[in-house]
Amino acid sequence: MPTDASVGARVAAIGAASFRRTLAAVERRTYEVRTFGCQMNVHDSERIAGLLEASGYVAAADGTTADVVVFNTCAVRENADNRLYGNLGYLVRTKAQHPGMQIAVGGCLAQKDQRTIVERAPWVDVVFGTHNIGSLPVLLERARVEQEAQVELLEALETFPSTLPTRRESAYRAWVSISVGCNNTCTFCIVPSLRGREKDRRPGEVLAEVAALVDDGVLEVTLLGQNVNSYGVEFGDREAFGKLLRACGEIDGLERVRFTSPHPRDFTDDVITAMAQTANVMPSLHMPLQSGSDRVLAAMRRSYRAEKYLGIIDRVREAMPDAAITTDIIVGFPGETEADFAQTLEVVERARFASAFTFQYSPRPGTPAASMPDQVPPEVVAERYQRLVAAVERSAWAGNQACLGTTVEVLVAEGEGRKDDATARLSGRARDNRLVHVAACDARPGDVVTAVVTYAAPHHLVADEVTGVRRTRGGDAWQSRRDAPTEPSGVLLGIPTVRA
Ligand code: SF4
């Protein structure tokens, strides 16, 4: 067996990558990625999984303890910290019982807290940031070889995460990142300081990835960016996003295009027209409002006002009468008065949202809003929050009731219907992204079911009158993934021989 010194020399000689693959494949080290936060993190976690599998790791089976646990963290909410350190605390004993186990922390909280993480949790082996996801396998190996925690973060993007290997969650749906970072400076948000200024992928690169995904059996893509409407700002084309949507319309086999998150300030009419005139762009729009009060929007530095927001919604509905509009709303922003909140409720009424993510404001250290005067007392925030949820629920229910008796086309999805087994139904999303539970039929996840809506609840529809089942390439892709034998994706290279 070669000595430590010669192993080091060989590693240098044959290149860390194949050594990592050999080592991990031989040892079949398993991994688990725990994802917190937004879709951008879900997308990045698929890259983290893809990277580890390309380095010879295999996904840990459910219920087993993985050799490597990666936390892909979020920094948006106050309790994000507590949750991470709570999880890390819980893993101390597990790690003690599993020699060789490694813990890595990445994502926005890692980018924010950096070395503090290993100071507060010295049993963490690797800390990496939002700009250098690609370094994870090397850092894991360096931590193992040197028996020392590795903390490596960059202030600017190393490589676009989309260029890294991926292990996609779904066989028939995919996230496609078109930009990372954000040039806005909303006073409650920490994203720009953690993900940097906006960087745009070239349209050709995005479209090539979409076409490759469609070849793989993907039916639906969601274009992803912190602010998709300003896409193209980096290469000087203000209409790049509308053009990208139209170009997606040219890709054969791509049935559904969605996008998140748009920003009302940059939401231009060419995007509305592109949505309406491109058949595979879905009639659903998630556009964060945050507040209905112009005074609060100004304090949030959102650069639009309520009337502009409602004007966009009106023009979207003119162009696509069946469009479902959803949003994000923060209640209890510093300085928010009862009158401000009443304006938010009024906009909710007029916008007729299909649903909304509603948040009680909590100060995020490091954001301007956290040190603003007139922080609203938590009990006042909680009371307003209840009224906001009730208003959104009324609007959502009214919208769903208007769907009764209509025919919907549902892309069947895995894991969308918690009660499916009990109710013998399948679940998925309609074209306008409403959640629909359909009567059981011979459809697989990825297939498309056409059915008549027979019941409307505040947050979902039931369509028990199935009028058609279309088996799709997406369903085939799901089937072949499900039936594929689980093989470690690492290539067994055997002990490398060094050529003189
Ligand atoms: S648009 Fe505002 S809220 Fe959204 S990521 Fe950028 S700074 Fe944050």
3-class SS of residue 125: coil
Residue 496 banded pLDDT, cuts 50, 70, 90: very low
Q: Which of 287, 255, 294, 256 is nearest to 271 (CA)?
A: 287
Pocket test for ligand 1, best of 227, 263, 290, 300 (most atoms within 8 A of CB): 227
Q: Which of 195, 205, 279, 270 is nearest to 235 (CA)?
A: 205
Structure tokens at 6: 């010669």
**The pLDDT of residue 364:** 83
| CA pair distance 184, 227, nearest whole angstrom | 9
Q: Does position 495 have pLDDT exceeding 70, yes or no?
A: no
Beta bridge mates, 106: 72
| Mean pLDDT of all residues in 86-98 | 93
Note whether 193 and 366 are within 8 A (CB): yes
**The pLDDT of residue 452:** 98
Residue 80 banded pLDDT, cuts 50, 70, 90: confident
| Mean pLDDT of all residues in 199-222 | 97
Q: Does position 498 have pLDDT exceeding 60, yes or no?
A: no
Whole-angstrom CA distances from 99 to 61, 67, 122 are: 18, 9, 16
Ligand 1 contacts (CB < 6 A) are 182, 184, 186, 189, 191-192, 226-227, 263
**The pLDDT of residue 10:** 52
Residue 253 neighbours by CB under 8 Å, 6+ apart: 214, 215, 219, 473
Structure tokens at 278: 């491109």
**The pLDDT of residue 424:** 79
**The pLDDT of residue 85:** 92
Q: Which of 461, 257, 241 is nearest to 355 (CA)?
A: 461
- In the chain, % of residues over pLDDT 70: 91
Phi/psi-derived region of residue 249, left when phi > 0, alpha when psi is between -120 and 50, beta in every other case: alpha
| CA pair distance 168, 43, nearest whole angstrom | 8
> At CA 433, angle to CA 160 and CA 460, rounded to 5?
135
**The pLDDT of residue 17:** 55
Residue 349 banded pLDDT, cuts 50, 70, 90: very high
- Across 136-140, 152-156, 491-495, least confident range: 491-495
Please give the full DSSP string across 384-445, using - where no structure is assigned: HHHHHHHHHHHHHHHHHHTTTT-EEEEEE-TT--TTHHHHTEEEEE-TT--EEEEE--S--T
**The pLDDT of residue 19:** 52
Distance 181 CA to ligand 1 centre (A): 9
Residue 389 burial by Cβ neighbours in a 10 Å radius (0-12, 13-18, 19+):
middle
Pocket test for ligand 1, best of 189, 233, 300 (most atoms within 8 A of CB): 189
Please give the full DSSP string across 80-115, using - where no structure is assigned: HHHHHHHHHHHHHHHHHHSTT-EEEEEEHHHHHHTT
Note whether 495 and 23 are within 8 A (CB): no
The number of the ligand 1 atom at minimal distance from the alpha carbon of 190 is: 8
Residue 27 banded pLDDT, cuts 50, 70, 90: low
- Across 74-88, 323-337, 383-397, least confident range: 74-88
Whole-angstrom CA distances from 470 to 27, 123, 412, 417 are: 43, 51, 10, 20
**The pLDDT of residue 161:** 81
Pocket test for ligand 1, best of 39, 197, 226, 231 (most atoms within 8 A of CB): 226
Task: Please name the residue whose Cα sits nearest to atom 2 of ligand 1.
Answer: 186
Q: Provide the CATH number for the domain formed by 407-482 in this structure.
A: 2.40.50
Pocket test for ligand 1, best of 108, 130, 184, 330 (most atoms within 8 A of CB): 184
| Mean pLDDT of all residues in 207-222 | 97
The third-level CATH classification (topology) of the domain covering 4-152 is Rossmann fold (3.40.50)
Higher pLDDT, 418 or 255: 255
**The pLDDT of residue 389:** 98
| CA pair distance 354, 348, nearest whole angstrom | 10
| CA pair distance 283, 267, nearest whole angstrom | 15
Q: Which of 101, 161, 174 is nearest to 128 (CA)?
A: 161
Distance 407 CA to ligand 1 centre (A): 37
Buried b (16+ CB within 10 A) or exposed e, 409-431: bbbbbbebbeeeeeeebbbbbbb
Preceding amide of 170 cis, omega within 30: no
Task: Please name the residue whose Cα sits nearest to atom 4 of ligand 1.
Answer: 226
Q: Does position 494 have pLDDT exceeding 50, yes or no?
A: no
The number of helices, as runs of H, and strands, as runs of E, in the chain is: 17, 21
pLDDT tens digits, one per residue of 250-264 = 999 999 999 999 999
Instruction: Confirm whether 161-400 and 407-482 share one CATH topology.
Output: no
Residue 1 banded pLDDT, cuts 50, 70, 90: very low
Hey, where are the domains in the chain? 4-152, 161-400, 407-482
In single-letter form, the type of residue at position 493 comes to L
Task: Please name the residue whose Cα sits nearest to atom 8 of ligand 1.
Answer: 189
Residue 38 banded pLDDT, cuts 50, 70, 90: confident
| Mean pLDDT of all residues in 176-180 | 95
pLDDT tens digits, one per residue of 8-22 = 565 565 555 555 555
Distance 57 CA to ligand 1 centre (A): 35
The third-level CATH classification (topology) of the domain covering 161-400 is pyruvate-formate lyase- activating enzyme (3.80.30)
The overall average pLDDT reported for the chain is: 90
Structure tokens at 37: 């936060």
